[in-house]
Amino acid sequence: MKHLLALPLMFLSLSLHAAIPAPPALEASSFALLDYDSGELLAASNPDQRVGPASITKVMTAYVVLEEVRQGRMKLQDTAFVSEKAWRQGIDSSESRMFVQVGTRVGLEELLHGIITQSGNDASVVLAEHVAGSEDAFATMMNQQAAKLGMKNTHFTNAPGMPDAQHYSTAHDLTLLGRALIQNFPAEYKWFALPDYTYNGIKQPNRNLLLKKDPSVDGIKTGHTSEAGYCLLSSAQRDGRRLIAAVMGTKSWAYREQASLELLNWGFRFFESAQLLGPTKPAGTVKVWKGAAAEVQVGTLKPVAITLPRGEAARVQASWQQEGEAIAPFAAGQKLGTLTLTLDGKVLRTEPLVALQDVEKGGFWRRLIDTIRLWFA
């Protein structure tokens, strides 16, 4: 049983939007632009090329700590001991520091500000040692989280992002990390937009200069080493729509901001996203057999986010195919078919079509009559 739906949908496929101007030609080793709602890459150059993430690593450091807090294994009000190893991070060089003092205890929330805004290598090691006992053990936790987030080309060996042949990520993987951070920790994500932070009487500015250049930008993290070049993982929200950009291996701190803004502007200008279907937007109804209800609404329990070139939504067709009969009882979420989106006859995306409500079994006579009817259906 196939049903056509008059839905203005489109699933982004880079091979399908030739009318869209090419993305900016950036002088970067790699870059990726991700639509937050749909998770689709809008533009990319060498997105899976392994590169040193430098201090963007600290986004994962913060993520692991926040996840431990969310799981109830620690609190932001807890304090962590500053070891000599942590205190010595950057003491003999120009590396970023929070300026924690050896032998003292510092609150976890303060340390998170220290790595997010001040990019403190010392604060990163303090947190790593507090959470896991050692930086090596913490790196294992970082890699476990990376695997859960689908960061297939990422491996961490340290918490601050110091150069190491086995410490790498990709532009695409870092946009996935940024997306997960915003999704899972929306309250704490606001810290990434703070213009500065003061600790131990030392006020340090946020190194993400895009925060000052564009009010729509609210994160995420800069990075720089001589090996990695100048890098930036950024995110901006305009008119309720969010994009995430990772620009890696540029020539200067100024150019990484310029390149990131060009990429974000391009994505906002030429694409739009829509949240479709979901529990309040059914795709249709199907007949229910042996149930307390005669029919049930079908669709998706969560909105389907679609990214599309501006103005092309109407060309997409959607249809759904019921798979077998809907025989009660069943719960909301039970798969009853498949939803298919097509453009010019090409299948773009499929989604499970599920019941949107619970349906209890019907009375004796309803079940008996429907049993007989099903013999002849």
In order of 7, 76, 113, the CA distances from 71 in angstroms are 40, 12, 20
Closest by CA to 208, choosing from 169, 178, 238, 170, is 178
Count CB atoms within 10 A of the CB of residue 260: 31
- Exposure of 103 in the CB half-sphere (CA atoms within 13 A): 0
Count CB atoms within 10 A of the CB of residue 317: 17
Which candidate in 29, 30, 58, 221 is catalytic? 58
Q: Which residues contact 349 (CB under 8 A, 6 or more apart)?
A: 11, 306, 340, 341
Give the DSSP letter string of 227-296. Answer: TTEEEEEEEEEETTEEEEEEEEEES-HHHHHHHHHHHHHHHHHHEEEEEE-STTS--EEEEEESBSSSEE
Does the active-site annotation cover 55? yes
Which candidate in 96, 119, 234, 273 is catalytic? 119
Does the active-site annotation cover 119? yes
Closest by CA to 138, choosing from 149, 150, 130, 146, is 130
Does the active-site annotation cover 83? no
Which candidate in 55, 169, 234, 273 is catalytic? 55
* CB distance 135 to 125 below 8 Å: yes
DSSP lists the bridge partners of residue 203 as: 198
| C-alpha distance across the termini of the chain, in Å | 13
What distance lies between CA 354 and its chain's CA centroid?
Answer: 25
Closest by CA to 220, choosing from 191, 196, 186, is 191
DSSP state at residue 155:
B
Q: What is the SS3 assignment for 5?
A: strand
Alpha helices in the chain (DSSP H): 57-70, 84-87, 108-116, 121-132, 135-148, 171-184, 186-189, 210-213, 253-270, 364-375
User: Catalytic residue numbers?
Assistant: 55, 58, 119
